[in-house]
Amino acid sequence: MAIMVNLGSVLSSIFGTDNKKKLKEFSQLVAKINGVEENNSQKNREEILHEVENLKNKSLNGHDSEELIVDAFALVREAAKRTLKQRHFDVQLMGGLVLHRGGIAEMKTGEGKTLVSTLAAFLNSLSGKGVHIVTVNDYLAKRDSEWMGQIFKYLGLSVGCLTNDLVGIEARKEMYNCDVTYGTNNEFGFDYLR
């Protein structure tokens, strides 16, 4: 009698799958982010802005963004609570980690994609190079730049929005010079071609 064994499933059960490893790592990071939440809730806005400046300085002085994740995500969560009265859930923090690492976070309507994007956008804006958030239409670009822009502005960042009706090179340059710029793939793409 021959027994068929799937070597892949045996190895996965012993060593774990890549997703399980990532999930474990992300769970540990989320626990650390949750660990500083109480401390952040006690800070006033000036202290929050001071923390943001510290993170920017670390980023500009060669600290890898991976070293800044916990503090950056915790600050965004606190800013969202204060401005939008919305708190990033743990699963949304994980979504932000996926986005930051260049992955795709698939989420259904109403699960908070727009809020999740603020985490990775803030973290990556610390480098001073600017972050582009691509939406599917001008309405969403404008809405999100105003709605989620409250979080970024609370953290001392500038927010821009590229729409089809924005005319003139100088006006568009001003939007690109912001820390975070919302726009559609058409606007970003055609500006690149111009």
pLDDT digits (tens, 9 = 90+) for 176-189: 999 999 999 999 99
The confidence band for 16, taking pLDDT boundaries of 50, 70 and 90, is low
Question: Once rounded to an integer, what is the mean pLDDT over residues 14-28?
Answer: 77
How would you label 160-178 residue by residue, b for 16+ Cβ within 10 Å and e otherwise? bbbbeeeeeeeebeebeeb
Return the SS3 of 176.
helix
Pick from 164, 162, 194: nearest CA to 178 = 162
Mean pLDDT (the chain, rounded)? 90
Q: Is the pLDDT of residue 51 over 50?
A: yes
Identity of residue 109: T
Q: What's the predicted TM-score (pTM) here?
A: 0.87
Distance in angstroms (rounded) separating the CA atoms of residues 189 and 192: 5
Q: Is the pLDDT of residue 55 over 90?
A: yes
